[in-house]
Structure 1
Amino acid sequence: MNKWIFRRFQIVCLLMLICFDAIAPADEGVKKLILPGESFLVDDHPAFIMWPASEKRKVPQPWVFYAPTLPAYPDKHEKWMHEQFLEAGIAVAGIDIGEAYGSPRAQQAFTALYEELVGNRGFAPKPCLLGRSRGGLWVSSWAVKNTDKVSGLAGIYPVFDLNTYPGLKRAAPAFEMTAEELEKQLDLFNPIAKTSALAEAGIPVCIIHGNADTVVPLHENSETLQTQYKQADKSKLCQLMVPHGQGHNFWTGFFHCQNLVEFTIERAKAGAGLKVKNSKHQQSSADTVIYKDLEYSRAGEQALLLDLYRPAESTEVVPVIVWVHGGGWKNGSKNRCPATWLVEQGYAVVSINYRLTDQAQWPAQIEDCRAAVRWVRENAAGFQLDGDHIAAWGSSAGGHLVALMGTLDAPKNEKTSSRVQAVCDWFGPTDLLTMPPNLPENGRTLEDVANSNGAKLLGKTVIEHPELAKQASAYYQVSAEDSPFLIMHGDKDFNVPLIQSQKFHDKLQEAGVSSTLIIVPEAGHGGKEFQAPEIQEAIKSFFDKHLH
């Protein structure tokens, strides 16, 4: 190689080393991440970025500034939450400075990462900060000194008061002081003494914090911050969700709180100057706490998920409505739940996914519905649900399933009851043997019947397996011990004939079961007629009667 070329090569290599002296190249050994990203060094501290997919990235890049970053954090409990951020195009970043408890050393490292990401990597100038537990000390101490660089503050049982955790004796070494010296200067270093600056700057806050937390007491930390916002006449900017009976633990609700996720996404986008569209990430209101994608059972490797909507301000246990979606047993999901208006009436609403016909045939669908009811009962205490008062409500294929939930005998050796105390059936097929698509008549061929939704559900046509069709039809399961029913059906329904509900209602009454049939005039298979005030009032009255 020519000496001159070799010399230039040496100079280029030297310059590269100089440029990257403060920022070490990505290295798998720097930090193990729970989601795709990169790890590197900033001022000799391990740092990371968890990246959204390339097609979801923006310029400037909206991001979440996370704490605490320690060898174990972020951890598997938070994985779902961070997945939602990445899915929404939000990056997550943090820096590990050990047990620094919001000390000046921690703030310097935060600033170094901020400058690297904003100055060199095109990140937005205002991230949303997210602090879990002692991470609250990190993010709040940095935020009060950098209010112009913060778009929002989110927290999961965050610490704001050093006195409560870790205590001055444990915190003092991070501040290079004795406990006595730290106590004398506490107003300078304790975040809660200065977090009123966040309220004065109008920085929005969203926190979830249990009232039984003895490690990070609610009152001295999150409630005190909330009080500061009230005193600054900024109470609307501070949302504090308090799961009663929950402490400092790995309760699923802390990490699947949709309100917190929506807030963080919205503020991160706002910090990047992006408009926040009305999307799936904006479903909650101040009156409702939503817990998304809770696993209620597994079918092999498949996780069966539900969403739980609960009144935000209720401190008592509340009765539960389990919503089962329609879609011909082959389509649909829990994501669009028309029952959530009942939350404002004092109910919790659980919207479930179940195995569709491309995943499993009958009886998988009813087994999943029962498993969801059992999950509600087994987890009632944690979410403050009334496990003794559960109703099922569903439409079309969901109406078929909830009708069976109210009529089928309980499985033998069932440890936790899957029985429901009331059923609202919206235009569900209750007799598969007489459903028109299942029969070769009026021009339908045997091939048409074989391709019907009923045949896909059973795995065979009703002609081939009538006994199985009866087992999957509520009409043939009616007995005097069945749950009370409210049945609603449009008189212009050309998908599920009205006679399906009429015959079922008559048979329930013959068996001595409480049943009310409301025929909705001019209504087809669903539609706006089912959203009318008188329909909602009838549903509310029915549930009030049987669940309160």
Structure 2
Amino acid sequence: MRILSPLLAALLLVTGLPLLTRAADTPAAATPKTSVWNGYEKLDFEVAGKPALLVKPRTPAPGNPWIWRTEFFGHEPQGDIALLGLGWHVAYLKVSDMYGAPAAIDLMNQFHDYVTKTYGLNQRVVLEGFSRGGLYAVNFAAAHPDKTAALYLDAPVLDIRSWPGGKGASKGDARCWKQAMDIYGLTEDTAKDFKGNPLDHIDALAAAKIPILAICGDADKTVPYPENTAILQERYKKLGGNIDVILKPGGDHHPHSLKDPQPIVDFLTKYAYAK
């Protein structure tokens, strides 16, 4: 039986969700379905009943580095494709509509354990959080810093009250807000003092010296920069953390990423697996 990390256990207690345990062996599809994605072999399978995939480079780089898109696989994939060309694997687990809650982090940990054991991937992964994927990426990194090589965040949601809650400059999303409150066990009243957001875990990231790259538009109306990444950047720098923010002047929530992914590649290849 797996013992939860202290941080993940604390998250579960704060949200009122039951502690999740599992057997050591993660159930997964015995024979992955094979296809081609952007010229690379893609394996589709399931882990703990959730759709998952792994895209394999033609020649793996030393140490088997990998990047894990936590949401919206295939959207603006130029960074992923560039890393594939350098021998990185690209992964995805579909845990949509779980907003980075402890139940999602537990499923992600099962996926991590499965792909590292089955495909020999590095124990430390770069987590790639696009939009609401930022909730999953940062919360996983905070709960499992020993399994995290770096964070690449792209217009990330870092506070559910900002989005989907719409408690600040964003209009939010009523349907998604209800989903988020339900999975965290919150009400409109208790959400005001909620402490399970990525922005509540900045100290844990800094203590683990996790390098962070963030790409944002300074005019993002969906996930406002001042309510999310600007707070992360200020606090992380004060804690001595390594964070690089590429701010797109006048940029809205879309398009994500960069037309030329070289700055993404440069940051991750320099810092993610540095000893």
TM-score norm. by structure 2 comes to 0.79
Aligned position for 2:67? 64
Alignment of 1:111-260 (within 5 A): 111-167=109-165, 168-175=177-184, 177-180=185-188, 183=191, 186-187=194-195, 189-234=196-241, 237-250=242-255, 254-260=258-264
Aligned position for 1:263? 267
Distance 1:181 1:109 in 2: 28
Distance 1:257 1:179 in 2: 40
Distance 1:58 1:246 in 2: 34
Q: What SS does the aligned partner of 2:103 have? A: helix
Aligned position for 2:18? none
Is the contact between residue 214 and residue 247 of structure 1 (CA under 8 Å) also seen in structure 2?
yes
Q: Alignment length, in residue pairs?
A: 239
Distance 1:21 1:224 in 2: 37
**Closer/same/farther in 2, CA of residues 233 and 21 from structure 1, 3 Å limit:** closer
TM-score norm. by structure 1 comes to 0.41
Letter in 2 for 1:248: H
Distance 2:144 2:230 in 1: 22
Aligned position for 2:32? 26
Deviations 1:275-311 (A, max 9, x none): xxxxxxxxxxxxxxxxxxxxxxxxxxxxxxxxxxxxx
Distance 2:26 2:212 in 1: 37
Distance 1:27 1:174 in 2: 31
Segments of 5+ residues of structure 2 without an aligned counterpart are 1-24, 166-176
Is the contact between residue 97 and residue 179 of structure 2 (CA under 8 Å) also seen in structure 1?
no
Segments of 5+ residues of structure 1 without an aligned counterpart are 1-19, 274-548
Distance 1:148 1:102 in 2: 18
**Closer/same/farther in 2, CA of residues 49 and 266 from structure 1, 3 Å limit:** farther
Shift of 1:83: 1.4
Distance 1:140 1:153 in 2: 7
Shift of 1:170: 4.0
Distance 1:97 1:136 in 2: 13
Task: Answer yes or no: is 1:47 the counterpart of 2:52.
Answer: yes
Q: 1:101 aligns with which of 96, 99, 102?
A: 99
Is the contact between residue 88 and residue 265 of structure 1 (CA under 8 Å) also seen in structure 2?
no
Is the contact between residue 206 and residue 239 of structure 2 (CA under 8 Å) also seen in structure 1?
yes
Shift of 1:269: 4.3
Letter in 2 for 1:66: R
Distance 2:259 2:133 in 1: 15
Is the contact between residue 26 and residue 47 of structure 2 (CA under 8 Å) also seen in structure 1?
no
Who wins on radius of gyration, i.e. which is larger? 1
Distance 2:44 2:231 in 1: 36
